[in-house]
Amino acid sequence: MSKIADGLLYSESHEWVKVDGNVAIIGVSDFAQAEMGDITYVELPDVDDDVTAGEDFGALESVKTSSELIAPVSGKVVARNDALEDQPELINEDAYAAWIIKVEMSDESELDALLNAADYAKTIE
Partner 1 sequence: MGAFSYFPQTGEDIRTMLERIGVASLEDLYADVPADFIYKGEYDLPSALSEQQVRDFFEGLAAKNTRLKVFVGQGAYDHYTPAVIPYITSRSEFLTAYTPYQCEISQGTLRYIFEWQTMICRLTGLDCANASMYDGPTAAAEAVRMCVASTKKRKSVIVSARLLPHVIDTIQTYAKYAGINVVVSDNVAEDVAEGVLDLAGVIVPSINRFGIIESHLGLADLVHRMGALLVEYCDPSALAVVKSPAEWGADIAVGDGQSLGIPLCFGGPYVGFMACTSALMRKLPGRIVGQTTDASGKRCYVLTLQAREQHIRREKATSNICSNESLMALWCTVYLSLMGPEGMRKLNALCYEGSHYLHDALLATGKFKRFFADGEFLKEFCLTPLCDVAKLQQALLDAGYFAALQTEEGFVTFCVTEKYGRADLDRIVEIVKSI
Partner 2 sequence: MKYYDKLIFELSKPGRTGYSLPETEQQLPKGIVWRETAPALPEVSEVDVVRHYTNLSQMNFGVDTGFYPLGSCTMKYNPKVNEEIAAMPAFTGLHPLQPASTVKGALEVLAGMDKALAAITGMKHFTFLPCAGAHGELTGLMLMREYHMSRGDLARTKVIVPDSAHGTNPASAAVCGLDIVVVKSKADGLVDVEALKALLGPDVAGIMLTNPNTLGLFERDIKEIAELVHGCGGLLYYDGANMNPLLGVVRPGDMGFDIMHLNLHKTFSTPHGGGGPGSGPVGVSDKVVPFLHIPHVSGFHGNFGVILRAYAYILMLGREHIKLAGKLATLGANYIKESLKDCYKLPIPTVCKHEFVFDGLLEDNGVSTLDVAKRLLDYGFHAPTIYFPLLFHQAIMIEPTETESLETLDAFIAVMRKIAEEAKSDPEMLHAAPHNTPIGRPDETTAARQPVLKYD
- For partner 2, the binding residues (CB under 8 A) are 38, 40-41, 61-64, 88-89
64 touches partner 1 (CB under 8 A): yes
Residues in the interface with partner 1 (CB under 8 A) total: 11
Residues facing residue 24 across a β-bridge: 19, 103
Q: Give the one entry of partner 1, partner 2, none that residue 88 binds, where binding means its C-beta sits below a cut-off of 5 to 8 angstroms depending on kind.
A: partner 2
Nearest-angstrom CA–CA distance, 70 and 23: 17
Nearer to partner 1, 46 or 112 (CB): 46
59 touches partner 1 (CB under 8 A): yes
DSSP of 57-121: EEEEEESS-EEEEE-SS-EEEEEE-THHHH-THHHHH-TTT---EEEEES-GGGGGGSB-HHHHH
Nearest-angstrom CA–CA distance, 24 and 75: 9
**27-46 binders of partner 1 (CB under 8 A):** 40-41, 43
Nearer to partner 1, 43 or 108 (CB): 43
- Within 8 A by CB and 6+ apart from 105, the residues are 22, 23, 24, 73, 74, 75, 111
Q: Give the one entry of partner 1, partner 2, none that residue 89 binds, where binding means its C-beta sits below a cut-off of 5 to 8 angstroms depending on kind.
A: partner 2
47 touches partner 1 (CB under 8 A): no
List interacting residues with partner 1 (CB under 8 A).
40-41, 43, 59, 61-66, 68
